[in-house]
Structure 1
């Protein structure tokens, strides 16, 4: 079995870039209360990039409040927010995942999945046999529930050569006994992820100390939960022109793959020479920016990636669902590639 404390520290470092906005949460909760919504706690969006805002509309809130999008879409709206464009995208594309496992008095079920050929999001519900199990678990000021598994539960994808994940817990409905777990993943695989499956294993669930974010005492639930999550969706990724050569800190970089989708951005590139930089594995740090029609941008420079001295692939998930018509361009190094629109 993997050492819990060592792997937890490593896992937490992977999530250091994630932040949440309580102001956005409060605004959304207020609008929902006026729309007579059922009592569901709204999760602040994971602010992966600064300055990317979500506009809320009364019509969108009404659709959510009346359940018009269905339970699976509700969970994805918790994660990404509710502007009109992404609400329609979620309604069209989200799929109920339909996988579950039970052990140690706890059932873990995959409730919703949304993705493309490189990125996907899975929302799970953790439902205890004892309805009081999570009552004493601390909540952060930003709305997350301070829980974690003992292992780094990155899903394995069929044929994937590498990838990464960000994750957190939240409580979609404080009036029921369940809590939710979100995985925002990316992986590169031959032929793409759509239509394949993700295999995930969770081991031993712990409550965390709110000051140290370290596990507290014995596990809340002991066991292993293994799920096969079907990625049954259609990808809307747009492949962009490649072959551009840029200079990066003294190394010559040639772009070999570049794509955007409603969920994120992916770039692969070859390197000739080693970038002159002080960071560990500087080959990963090629600047990548996605520009949107509203004038904002998404910084994917520090995205997770993998590779070696000669070739790197890295990808990043946006902090919201975007309409690809609103993506203007992707800048890699000092070269800007426009996104074509029909």
Structure 2
């Protein structure tokens, strides 16, 4: 399947190819922050809750052992006072856990907005021993650990893209952490998250060592405070000479989503397009003058009549208080944020 960038760079297709593009909406993200692998997840509600109920281990929210959201996400999104304040305000601590083969997986916290969410888990051995004697972190601190498979069902029927990795929040204890950052192609709804993780391993391919075998299954409330800001759309710009219009921009301290339409001049009876639009540069400009390139975010494209509907979206590498974001630039259009 093609990435967002590849789809945009190959914008010449027959009617049959148009249908294939529709089937390939929300392909795998091109974003690979900090060198971590990015699995594509299409998460559908399949009524699995009833089948899994007997295997679920739910922690009591009133146990007093909950980890504050800011602590759980500190190593992921930053620990500056402004970041901590926002994470604790819009994040939610969790206490759902399951133990298999002597290893416990515990959901620590969740944070999210209209289109994106992140979940942090802690993984530890019940006997107090470390998960592995040789965690082998890479230069960014990510550990060479992985699950054989993972799936998070939040009741969303569309596509999702994102990233996940392991890290060690506190080398002094015997736990390691696993974080998922995911973005949906349509607004998320509150409900129940059902998570299934299988076979904890170290390494890749046939050389991977099996550390714990089995399936960890957890359920918890999928709910958080949404602090997204919707910026006004309707601005016109050009993409390689083709007319385009910005449909909508949603930004929160956690993520960004941009939706725009390119008029390709390609109807259902056309065989080729007159031009080949390329991915538009996307920048976040902060009030301190710094500029962050987000062009590599993931997303998708789909034909709509004689035009292309394009989406670019993803989760930031850090929490950005909205009052620190000066503007968002997509191609020729710059939208102020601080004045909204």
Q: Normalising by the residue count of structure 1, what TM-score does the alignment of the two structures yield?
A: 0.71
1:327 equivalent in structure 2:
325
1:89 equivalent in structure 2:
86
TM-aligned CA deviation for residue 229 of structure 1: 4.2
Structure 2 residue corresponding to 1:19, chosen from 34, 38, 47:
34
Measured against aligned partners, the alpha-carbon deviations of 1:184-225 in whole angstroms (never above 9, x if no partner) come to 2211334x44x33443322212101xxxx5463442112222
Question: Secondary structure of 1:150's match?
Answer: strand
Structure 1 residue corresponding to 2:262, chosen from 248, 271, 276:
271
Structure 2 residue corresponding to 1:316, chosen from 301, 314, 317:
314
TM-aligned CA deviation for residue 182 of structure 1: 1.1
Aligned length: 271
1:290–1:204 CA distance, 2 compared to 1 (3 A): same
Question: Secondary structure of 2:71's match?
Answer: helix
Paired residues of 1:160 and 1:189 also in contact (CA < 8 A): no
Higher strand share: 2
1:202 equivalent in structure 2:
197
1:258 equivalent in structure 2:
249
Contiguous gaps of at least 5 residues in structure 2: 1-27, 37-65, 265-272
Question: Secondary structure of 1:316's match?
Answer: strand
2:282 paired with 1:288? yes
1:206–1:181 CA distance, 2 compared to 1 (3 A): same
TM-aligned CA deviation for residue 124 of structure 1: 0.4
Pairwise mapping of residues 1-342 of structure 1 onto structure 2 (< 5 A)?
17-19=32-34, 71-130=68-127, 131-151=129-149, 153=150, 155-190=152-187, 192-193=188-189, 195-208=190-203, 214=205, 216-273=207-264, 276=275, 285-309=279-303, 310-339=308-337, 341=339
Measured against aligned partners, the alpha-carbon deviations of 1:113-150 in whole angstroms (never above 9, x if no partner) come to 11211222211011223424322332223322110112
**Cα distance between partner residues in 1 of 2:274 and 2:94:** 42
Paired residues of 2:239 and 2:262 also in contact (CA < 8 A): no
Measured against aligned partners, the alpha-carbon deviations of 1:43-66 in whole angstroms (never above 9, x if no partner) come to xxx9xxxxxxxxxxxxxxxxxxxx
Q: Normalising by the residue count of structure 2, what TM-score does the alignment of the two structures yield?
A: 0.71
TM-aligned CA deviation for residue 71 of structure 1: 3.7
Paired residues of 2:154 and 2:222 also in contact (CA < 8 A): no
Question: Secondary structure of 2:33's match?
Answer: coil
TM-aligned CA deviation for residue 251 of structure 1: 3.4
Structure ranking higher on relative contact order (CA contacts 8 Å, 6+ apart): 2
RMSD of aligned Cα (Å)? 2.7
Question: Secondary structure of 2:158's match?
Answer: strand
